[in-house]
Amino acid sequence: MSAFDELMAFQRETEALGQIMGRLGWDMETMMPKGSANQRADEMEALDGVLHGRRTDPRIGEWLDNAEAPDATGQRQLDEIRFEFDRQKRIPAKLSAELTRTTALAHRAWIEARKSNDFEAFAPHLEKVLGLSVEKGEALADGGDPYDALLQDYEPGASGAELDQMFAELRPRLVALRERVQGSDRVVPELKGDFDIDAQMRISAKLAKTFGYDFEVGRIDKAVHPFSSGSGRDVRITTRTDAKNPSDCFYSTIHEVGHACYEQAVSPDLYLTALGSGVSMGVHESQSRIYENQLGRSRAFTGHLFGLMREEFGDFGIDNEDDFYAAVNRCAPGYIRTEADEVHYNLHVALRFDLERELVSGRLSVSDLPEVWDARFEADFGVAVDQPANGCLQDVHWSEGLFGYFPTYSLGNVYAGCLHAALRKDVPDLDASLLEGDTSAATGWLRENVQKFGKSIPAKELIEQATGKAPSVGPLADYLDTKFGDIYGV
């Protein structure tokens, strides 16, 4: 066997073990008995040790030195493996195992703390996770900026400074739009009443199919925080239900379906290789957000969803498609990021981006976090946080050590804006099929232009190739201005 073939075979087994690690994480949040958390931490730590050993195996360095790529994709495989190998080598095995164990326990503590609104109970866990994450960032940065180093796990090639610039362009346009919307005297209706949970799950399953999710190699379960997990031939999603708020369930489902469809659509040639999954969190989020918002919350598609809801729930207080469209796009300065409308969403992300950079740099301590969060929230949204579960305890990310993840949400929205503009140009009559509940023209376009490539094209290049332009904030901001200007008559 050539060095290239040996490396590919070795990588394939590592990728398979990585998928198993993902499945343990999925199980932890869906099926695992509550009392099993400690044993699960041991199990994941053990597997992490195996994975770390493989990812830093000195043979990889030898194979890389001797391998000759048969083609451009092969070269990209080698580049990706080298990037990961160089990063992994910098993280001591002990630190990696400790992070896995600590975050498994912190995750469980976060669920309990959020339920009981008890930041004090979570704070020691967060301190530990933060400390280890900073240690990891420093090990990776090699004298550079630890936050930028952590960011590479989610958005290879991006920098904190570049994201700062993105928020600097986006934020004033969002604030201006929010002010116009708040000044509008148009009353947008709200969904009211109790919506049967089983019926919500039935509609969720229909929506997932409508957006092209393949249940032969996927499934939907419930979890506290909706997520998608896995690649290739086993991609699972979770959603959540609230009897008062069926939109949360439906749009969480469509969002996760966007992530899952991306993973399911990666070219089979790339399965269980270094290139066999989404290229970056930003591009991943562009898929989930374009499914959820530009498509799922469009006037055309909400017309279809309105029909599905009438079938399941009968009369629910809204009797026409236009009011329903306005209702699912209602703007309000709510506490919860995952429930935020498109106008407020990126303001939530900007807050987290700024605070986590402060935490990682040491300029902000964990004990001061609730106070600083609440002050910033009140300044940005005009309302005071009422309880920690609605403030700094709401998101799962920091309990899992995912510092550097948040800004990729907004980057994803910016990419979604660029892709949507290009999609509408290529498929000018898209709304006619969306109204019928047929998303195939849009999802097919995304599959061909983005999803099938996996990691074989770097993020920015991929968006530029798909849209014919370098990514920029303009298309997203223009889309939001037009859509919400129209709904609110401003």
Nearer to Zn ion (CB atom), residue 134 or residue 266: 266
Minimum gap (Å) between residue 112 Cβ and Zn ion: 24
Minimum gap (Å) between residue 83 Cβ and Zn ion: 23
Nearer to Zn ion (CB atom), residue 48 or residue 356: 356
User: Which residue of this chain has its Cβ atom nearest to Zn ion in the complex?
Assistant: 288
Phi, psi of 222 (to 5 degrees): -105, 145
Nearer to Zn ion (CB atom), residue 54 or residue 420: 420
Q: How many residues bind Zn ion (CB under 5 A)?
A: 1
From 31-39, 66-74, 131-139, 287-295, give the range in contact with Zn ion by CB under 5 A: 287-295
CA angle 352/238/51 to nearest 5° reads: 75
From 22-30, 82-90, 285-293, 396-404, give the range in contact with Zn ion by CB under 5 A: 285-293
| CA-to-CA separations, 240 to 29, 125, 250, 338, in angstroms, rounded | 12, 25, 9, 11
Distance CA 142, CA 84 (A): 15
Active site residues: 256
Which residues lie closer than 8 Å to 299 by C-beta, 6 or more apart?
321, 322, 325, 431
Nearer to Zn ion (CB atom), residue 48 or residue 256: 256
Let me know if 405 is exposed, middle or buried by CB neighbors in 10 A (0-12, 13-18, 19+): buried
Task: Determine, following the binding rule CB under 5 A, whether residue 241 of this chain makes contact with Zn ion.
Answer: no
Number of other residues whose CB lies within 10 A of the CB of residue 56: 19
Minimum gap (Å) between residue 285 Cβ and Zn ion: 5
Nearer to Zn ion (CB atom), residue 146 or residue 230: 230
* Side-chain-facing half-sphere of 174: CA atoms under 13 Å: 25
The residue from 88, 288, 302, 410 that contacts Zn ion (CB under 5 A) is: 288
3-state SS of 278-334 is CCCHHHHHHHHHHHHHHHCCCHHHHHHHHHHHHHHHCCCCCCCHHHHHHHHCCCCCC
DSSP 25-63: HHHHHHT--GGGHHHHHHHHHHHHHHHHHHHT-HHHHHH
Chain residues binding Zn ion by CB under 5 A are: 288
